[in-house]
Every structure is written in structure tokens, then in C-alpha cells.
Structure 1
Amino acid sequence: MGFNGKFSRLFKRPRGLTRIDFKRSEVDFTSAANQAIGGAGLVARAVLCGGGILAVVMLVYGLFEILKDRFIYSNPDFAIRKVDVHVKGYLSPELVLKWSGVSTGENIFRVDLAAIRRNLEFVPQIKQVTVERVLPNTIRISVEEREPIARILVPIASSNSIRADQVWIDEDGIVFTRLDRNNEHVHARLQSLPVIIGISPTETIAGYALQAPEARAAIEIIKWLQRSTVVVFDQLRILDVGTPGAVVAQMASGAEVVFGLDRVPQQVRRLREVYELGRRLGRQLMWVDLSVTNNLPVSWLPLEGEYSPVNTKNLEKTTPSLRKNA
């Protein structure tokens, strides 16, 4: 074999390798490019179509806003001409209207009803608020005032002396002040409410509920006494919550009643039975400790000619109807 043969064998294509078909590759590349251009065209058409739809939506929305402003927000028929205020309580409608922040002439649809409700709920004296639109031109506000069940005397130090101011609480223990003291009828009724003493001034924050256990028990005692026939025999006047673990009540007759913090309904029932027993015996109650669980210490006012009050330390042994769990 000559030199030329060896040289050709040196550069001979190895077995298994394929010859590159440049013409076919060129055709494949051209096809792929055409496909890419076609896809880009589809995307462009989709973008243009989407843009057109968005433009139409924006145009419709803009027309809607223009019509809404013209026929609703700028329509004089929807200007507020009347604010109808209903109050369940003694607050004046004029005062409620002032707190609400509503004024006539405003567009009824521009008024924020939730904001009006919040403005009024910030007033501690107000318990519940409803606000509604009455088309075409009226706002209706209904307010329920908190009903006081007791007064609290709050000591206030001045430069020369210490005086006591008054706040009130409702059945939920919410503290509030009264703004209608010039009403003589209301003032007389409020002054007849029982007084709670012994509460720290730091607890008497308007709009917040009393938290001390003794104060919470006092609220329960007042509510249960109001439902009980005890009021037929005597009236509650003062509740002293200054003693830890107990509430000491002073009745209109002068009787002193010691309550525990738990099982208030049962204690009120026992007190009613004590008064009923006193009526049967012809005796007037002087003192009773309802917090005691195993007996019922009772003292009666002495009759004429007696030198000391009658002390009944084991009353339950002779009067089964007074047992606590009866």
C-alpha cells in the first residue's frame, strides 16, 4: 500500500458516524423560525385583543362613574333633608344628632353609616345604635341609652378638701356619666339608686366594665334583689365592696347584710326567708351573715324592754326552711 492509501485511511470517516445533511438542517431551521414567527404573531394578536377588551371595560366603567355621579351623588333629590332620631332613654335627640356628625344637605349615599355608628358608640352612656338610610332623603338613627342600676361615689381631691363625684353603672358593670342632670325627674330617680362604695377610683373609667370580684358580686346582688320579693320588706341603699371577699349591704331599715361573692341567687333567697321569718316572729332584722355556709347568724332588733339584740347563732337548727341548700 502506497503513501496515498495510508493517507486516505488516516482521514477515513469512522464507522457509526453520520454525515451531516446541511440542506436538510437548513430546511428544519427555516421551518422552526417560521413557527416561532407565527407564535409571536398569535401572542401579538392576543395582546391586542386583550388590550381592546380592557379599553372597552375602562370606557364602560368611566361612563358608569360619570352617570353615577350625575344621577346619584350629585342628584339634589338625594340630599339629606331630615335626620330622624329615636332615643330609648332620657338623652335629648339634639345631643345625639350633634354626636353623630350628620348634617342636612349632604348626599345620602356619601354618608358613612358605620362612621356615624362608631361616633355614637364612643359615648359611654349609649348602649346600642342603629343607623339606616330611608330613601330618598332621610337618615334614621335609633339609640338605646344605658339603664343605670347603681351609683358609685368617686372621691376627688381638691386644693382644700376631698369631695365625691358620681358615676353610674348598668347591669353589665359599664361605667358612665350622666349628661341629663338638669332633668328633675331623672335626677330624682337616679338619686334613689343604691350606692356602691369602696371602689378604687382607677376602676371607674367611663366606657369600661368594673373588674374587681367584689364589684362584680355587688352588681349580681343588685340584679337579684330587684327580681326578689325582698323589696317588699326592705330597700337596698348601700353596698360596701371595700372588704376583700365580701360585700356588705346596708338596707333602708338600717339592717346590715353580709354577702359572699359566690352563689348570689341562693343568698338572696335565704335573705328573703329571713325577712319572712321576722314578719312571722314580729321582729325586725338588724344583721345577718349570708356568707356563712354551715349556719345562718342572725341578729334582730331588741323589742321594747330588751337590753340587747336577739342573737340567733344556730337559726337553721330550729328553722329548716332557712337551710342554704333547701
Structure 2
Amino acid sequence: MGRKNQFRRRRKKGLEVAARRRRRWRRWRRALAAGVLVAGVTALGVWAHSQWPRWRQQWLAGERLFPLKEIQITTPLRAVTREQILLRSGLRAGQNLLAIDLARVRRALEEIPYAAEVSVERVLPHVVRIGIIERRPVARVRLYSRFGEESLEARICYLDGEGMVMPGGMEGRPGDDPFADEPLPEVVGVDPTEVTLGQMTGDLRLRWALRLIEVYRQLRLDEQAGLRTIDLTETGVLHVALDNGVRATLGPDELPRQLLRLFYLQEVGRANGRRLLQVDLSIPNNCPSLWTPAEPSAPSAGFPKGVLKLPLARDV
């Protein structure tokens, strides 16, 4: 019995050793296979990465795949031309649609002074859509430059409500100016060094004039008489001329109240058979004014819709 048990123990131990060897061999074989697989995938990735520029140029960025055939302008334009868009964007027929850098195209178009918002969209297989929301000018500025030895040449620029300086045309060439027929107020007395095309003006006086235009429109006073000129020549005041011939001097404070007083004075004058010619509203407690007899046929314009009618004793 003793010998049999000893034999059994030896046989069992031998079987266990063989089983451990087989397990180690399987683990080593799996590790070897995984290593070979990782090495193969890595080598394939390195090779593919090295070949990617050639493949991209040949298949993706080549003009044979998804060539650009149409550039669609999705918004109505008045100042920005299609030629400007093509020149700034660098887009041309035949370019591979997938290779076009839309962010670069958008940044290039945003540099157009009249462009307020720009969107660029890729539409497979052959279309690029461009949308531009234009800035709307609210004022006109005339800048003079010497042409020759004696003559001066005037160039028209425009300002939007944010102070962006936008190009117009040369004086005497209305065909070059998209807003030549717009009844916009002209700002005079502007320092030319403060006006740079394609940039926001930092001139505080110009900002003040733009604020005046904004308030004048908010009060809807332009329905009765439009702003003709805003003169910045004198420090601390604005000299304003209206389409009906009235001239007013305005101070920097309480623009809405000053403009309402200006309109109310005109209405009071009409009611009393007199026409306002000139008034200084920059003086807080007084308003020196110049009057003339009104024409009998001139009817009262009445208060614009939405304008508060102030008591006479308080505002005149």
C-alpha cells in the first residue's frame, strides 16, 4: 500500500507540473500573438501616417473629388459685391470642397467693412453657401485730400451706429457709391486722423454725433424733419441743421429732452404764426432763439406718433 500511494503522489505531481507548463506556454503564446499584433498595427499606422499627405492630395484634396461648382449668396446685398466676395475669400471653381478652410474664408469676409455678420456653409457635393448681413450706414462723412497742387478731392465715407467707417465713392461719381441717394445726415468738422476705413472710430465727438442720430430716430422726429448736418467744429456742443432750415445748438447732456424741446418750440411757433430759425439748447436754464413770421400756408406737422407732449411752461 505504501508503494502504491507513493506512486500515485508522484504521478499526480508530474501531471500538475505538465499542466503548469501548458498554462505557461499558452500565456506566453497569447502574449507573443498580442505583441506581434500591436507591432503590426503600429507599423501599419506609421506607414499610413507617412502616406496620408499623398493620399489626401491625390484623393481628398484633389480637384477630381467634390469639385466646387457653385458659390451661392444667400442674403440680399447692396454694398458688398460678388466680386469682392470672390476676391476676399479666394474661392474658385474646381477647388475640392473638403479641402476648403471655411473658418479662413469667414475671417477673410469679415474684414470687408460693410460685413456685420458672415456665415459660410459647405453643401456636398459641389456648393458653398455664403451669407453676409451688411452694416447699415446712419451718417455720411466727407474727407478731403489734395489732388495736384491746387485742387482738393473729396471722398465720401459712411458710419454705422457702432462707429464702423465704411467706404463710399468719390464726390462727383455717384455710380461708385451704393448709398449716394440715401438721405443721411452729414457729419462735418471731423478730424481725418480719427477716420480709418474698416475700423471703429474712437473719436468721442463722432460717437456723440452717432448717439444724437440714434436718439433722434428713436423719438421718431425724423418723420417730421430730417437731420441734414451735424457740425463738430466747436468743442463741447453740436451744431445741428434740419431739413426744414432750423438750426440748433445742443449740449452733451439729456439729448432726448433737448430734442423734444426743439420739436416743441417749432410747434409752439407754428401755433403763434412764427417759424423757428435758430435756437441754443445747450444752456440748461434758457434757450436763446431766433424767429421769423411763418408762411400762412405752412400747416402744423403735429406731434410724431409715440412722442410725449410736454407742458409749455416746463420746456420752452
TM-score, L = length of structure 1: 0.70
Q: Tell me, yes or no, if structure 1 residue 83 matches structure 2 residue 71.
A: yes
**In 2: Cα distance, 1:273 partner to 1:252 partner:** 16
* CA radius of gyration, larger in: 1
**In 1: Cα distance, 2:180 partner to 2:127 partner:** 36
Q: 1:85 offset after TM fit, Å?
A: 1.8
Does the Cα contact within 8 Å between 1:233 and 1:275 map onto a contact in 2? no
Q: 2:91: which partner in 1?
A: 102
| Residue 98 to residue 179, structure 1, CA distance change in 2 (3 Å) | farther
Q: 2:161: which partner in 1?
A: 171
Q: 2:16: which partner in 1?
A: none
**In 1: Cα distance, 2:162 partner to 2:196 partner:** 14
- Answer with 255-264 or 213-222: which moved more: 255-264
Q: 2:194 aligns with which of 176, 179, 203?
A: 203
RMSD (Å) for aligned C-alpha atoms: 3.2
Q: 1:237 offset after TM fit, Å?
A: 0.7
**In 2: Cα distance, 1:75 partner to 1:170 partner:** 41
Does the Cα contact within 8 Å between 1:80 and 1:139 map onto a contact in 2? yes
- Once the two structures are superposed, residues 55-109 of structure 1 have per-residue CA deviations (whole angstroms, 9 ceiling, x without a partner) of 3543565687787666643473511111112343313323322332100101111
Query: In the alignment, residue 315 of structure 2 is paired with which amino acid?
Result: L
Unaligned runs of 5+ in 2: 1-31, 296-310
| Residue 135 to residue 182, structure 1, CA distance change in 2 (3 Å) | farther
Does the Cα contact within 8 Å between 1:213 and 1:261 map onto a contact in 2? no
Q: Tell me, yes or no, if structure 1 residue 189 matches structure 2 residue 189.
A: no
Does the Cα contact within 8 Å between 1:86 and 1:93 map onto a contact in 2? no
- Report the identity percentage: 29
**In 1: Cα distance, 2:282 partner to 2:57 partner:** 69
Q: 1:142: which partner in 2?
A: 131
| Residue 197 to residue 75, structure 1, CA distance change in 2 (3 Å) | closer
| Residue 89 to residue 292, structure 1, CA distance change in 2 (3 Å) | farther
Q: 1:245 aligns with which of 233, 236, 239?
A: 236
Does the Cα contact within 8 Å between 1:283 and 1:301 map onto a contact in 2? yes
Query: In the alignment, residue 216 of structure 1 is paired with which amino acid?
Result: R
Unaligned runs of 5+ in 1: 1-44, 305-317
* DSSP-derived class of the 2:137 partner: coil
**In 1: Cα distance, 2:58 partner to 2:89 partner:** 27
Query: How do 1:1-326 residues align onto structure 2 when only pairs under 5 Å count?
Result: 54-58=42-46, 72-74=60-62, 76-90=64-78, 91-158=80-147, 159-178=149-168, 183=175, 186-190=178-182, 192-302=183-293, 319-322=312-315
TM-score, L = length of structure 2: 0.72
| Residue 209 to residue 184, structure 1, CA distance change in 2 (3 Å) | closer
Q: 1:186 offset after TM fit, Å?
A: 4.2
- Once the two structures are superposed, residues 130-187 of structure 1 have per-residue CA deviations (whole angstroms, 9 ceiling, x without a partner) of 1110111101111122211111111212311334321111111111113696659945
* DSSP-derived class of the 1:301 partner: strand
- Matched residues, number: 265
Q: 1:21: which partner in 2?
A: none
Does the Cα contact within 8 Å between 1:87 and 1:145 map onto a contact in 2? no
